[in-house]
Amino acid sequence: MTDRRVVVTGLGVVSPVGIGAEATWDGLVHGRSGIARITLFDAAPFDVDAAGEVKGFDATDTMEPKDVRRHDRNTHFAVAATREALEHAGLLGDNGRLSDEVDADRTGMVFGTGIGGIGMLLEGHKTLVERGARRVSPFMLPHMLPDSASGQVAIQYGLRGPNMAVVSACATGGHAIGEAMEAIVRGQADLMLGAGTEAPLVPLVFAGFSQMRALGSPKDPDSGAYSPAMASRPFDATRDGFVVAEGAAVLVLEELAHALARGAQPIAEVIGYGSSADAFDMAAPAKRGEGNQRAMRAALVRAGIGPEAVDYINAHGTSTPLNDRYETMAIRDVFGEHADRLAVSSTKSMTGHAMGAAGAIEAFVCAKVVSTGSIPPTINLRHPDPELTLDYVPNKARAADVHVALSNSMGLGGHNSTVILRRWDA
């Protein structure tokens, strides 16, 4: 890495566990599940009716009512999480836009999403079929695109620097963080938002994943009783699928000298980023997580550290039989004997899988882990899988001296991203 170091100076989150970074973090370290019965639509036709749904969210807290009506839910999340992150970083002016104290032309974002405004798309299609072409909203097309959230965030907060929306399925959030970091390192910007947002809780998405037999059962595997909070069981021997979730997370990334010059307090440092493709299958992971291995190794090289420097891994940990097995194998292959000294947890056990937002939410988790010394648990891990023998921090948070944390993300199509964060020591 060049001498342009990149630090995290602000955090914003909207998640099933809580609205806001601190509410989300408090829920995670206390092992609270945000997974419950779906209320956004009637899930009666499906075998599974549990999801990581954001509850109690009011988009009008951060958007004008007319803009709320015109935009998809994933943009609502993006705008809200961005406001919190900018406020946290001390970058929000009195007018609710980017502070005049920083250069808006050198402040941008990589704001990713896996699906984009699918709710807006489906609503437009329904209108077309039921009411005719002349009744389709003129706002439908620009507001259903994957870059709609990044566009609206830039408009609302006045960020005029580099702006793009990466799309790499469930690896999107990690790619967004890494590419935002690289924009600062190469001198293209001084401030960047690395972020992901997703609102996939619509019947069509649910039907697709149901037909893939990919969703976890919302039943207690021991008693058989209905228990949505038990649906996501990463690394457990009874795991049988993932839980679809929604939300957003924004990390304010800033060139170190720029942050210190304006008196900002760094939360963590982003030191590594790796990206790879399985080139294997559109849905199944490559054997032994070979693509994930390449992403982790590339991130370690980019960070200039050896495997032994990593203390904690926030795993992709989806709760599917193949992902958890192959990710465990990948960690063992990359870290060797050091794998037995790593703490590895999956916060998807509590949030569910927010797809394009997942990697950003989990990078947020890594920033909090290195800055607080608390590791959130993998809940619902009651039946150890004899084939999976890492330290998965089962069921209860742990205090630990974590200097370096790694976040793994993998997506449909064989996309892989890895981001590494380090504790900030002034």
pLDDT for the residue 54: 98
Domain 272-423 annotated CATH 3.30.750.24? no
pTM of the model: 0.97
| Mean pLDDT value across residues 282-298 | 95
pLDDT, tens digit, 9 for 90 and up, residues 356-375: 999 999 999 999 999 999 99
**From residue 376, how far is each of 25, 29, 350, 368 by CA, in Å?**
9, 5, 10, 10
Do the domains 7-261 and 272-423 sit in the same CATH topology, yes or no? yes
Q: What is the pLDDT of residues 211-243, one digit of tens each?
A: 999 999 999 999 999 999 999 999 999 999 999
pLDDT 10s digits, 11-23: 999 999 999 999 9
pLDDT digits (tens, 9 = 90+) for 125-138: 999 999 999 999 99
Band of the pLDDT at 1, cuts 50, 70, 90?
A: very low
Q: Quick one: pLDDT at residue 250?
A: 98
Q: Tell me the percentage of the chain whose pLDDT exceeds 70.
A: 99
Residue type, 175: H
Domain layout of the chain by residue ranges: 7-261, 272-423
> How far is the C-alpha of 7 from the C-alpha of 316, rounded, in Å?
23
Domain 7-261, classified CATH 2.30.30.30, yes or no = no
Residues of the chain with pLDDT > 90, as a percent, come to: 99
CB count within 10 Å of CB 54 equals: 25
Q: Catalytic pick from 71, 353, 366, 415?
A: 353
334, pLDDT greater than 90: yes
Average pLDDT over residues 88-98: 97
Q: Determine whether 403 is an active site residue.
A: no
Specify the pLDDT at position 426.
65
User: Is 353 annotated as catalytic?
Assistant: yes
Say if residue 200's pLDDT is above 50: yes
CA distance 211 to 207: 6
Tell me which amino acid residue 262 is.
R
Q: What average pLDDT is seen over the chain?
A: 97
Statement: residue 39 has pLDDT above 70: yes
Per annotation, catalytic residue among 170, 258, 366, 415: 170
pLDDT at 2 over 80: no
pLDDT of residue 3: 79
- CB-count burial class (<10 Å; 0-12, 13-18, 19+) for 197: buried
170 is catalytic: yes
